[in-house]
Structure 1
Amino acid sequence: MAFKKKTWSDRMVEYAGRRKLTNVSTKQAIICDVERSEGTVSKEGDAFSSQNMNDLEQRVADGFSEVKQTTDGLIQNLAGLPTVKAGITELTFSGGNTTLTHNAGFPDTNYAAMFLCDNVRMFPRMSTNLDGNKTTLSASAVNGAGAIANLDGKYRVMWIVARST
């Protein structure tokens, strides 16, 4: 399903701070004007406005567009290759190493492999050891402090292996 932008508009009323109060016991209603009395404002924050919401919609739309362009580029780059296998799987890394068995059935090591982890801040740097049916990964990623760290634990990994021509 494609992302559909919504255009937000501000609500316009005659009396923005007016409220109707009804006494639940007597059912008598009175109309009051309510104004803010919040004391010292230590930080204004962002207003909930059509301008801010439309900006958010645009940023989300731009993000989806960027992902689509990247995906379309990958598909175009791989289109000329005679054999492509891909998938998403959960792999367990220990000390930065794991093995992906993709069963591509290539007769030799003449193929390329690409891997993306979805819960790593930046795409991991991976070196690979290839054979016809499996790829051994040695992976590290940039952690939040900017240091290189080995991947440990479970990660969902998108993988693509392509037989080079």
Structure 2
Amino acid sequence: MTDITIRPATEADADVIWTMLEPVIRAGETYALPRDMSRRDAQAYWFAAANTVLLAERDGAVLGTYYLRANVPGGGDHVCNCGYVTAPAAQGRGVARAMLADSLDRARAAGFRAMQYNFVISTNTRAVDTWTRAGFETVGRLPGAYRHPQRGNVDALVMFRQL
């Protein structure tokens, strides 16, 4: 899928972004967010003032969204953090890889020196494999730190990559 366009999201994209976020939040398998999170709270989280929110499209069809932000303020603000969601119909078609590549480029351009994922659910093997292939290392493992709705307590990973 090389013809993916990634552009800044606007308030006009809030509805389509919610259609991607809601099933992910409700499933509770890949994001450490409350499964009953309201649309308003989810959008406040995704569109937080510190976040740059982007939308991946192909021929006008929305394929995914991600945000880019400093991982922490102050002395750690040279390390960024991202969150990615792929539309259900676009999964397995390279959308996450395209958003990752775009986020790495945007992070470098913004002056970040590294990217860190703070809480990758270990059972989210597609994400773990994608990030690992892109040069991220697992630098920490939090044993049983996430209550998975089907698998019980599973590990969460901290993944890191220099830019």
- Normalising by structure 1, what TM-score? 0.25
Q: Which has the higher contact order (CA 8 A, sep 6+)?
A: 1
Greater share of helix: 2
TM-score under structure 2 length normalisation:
0.25
Specify the structure having the higher radius of gyration (Cα). Answer: 1
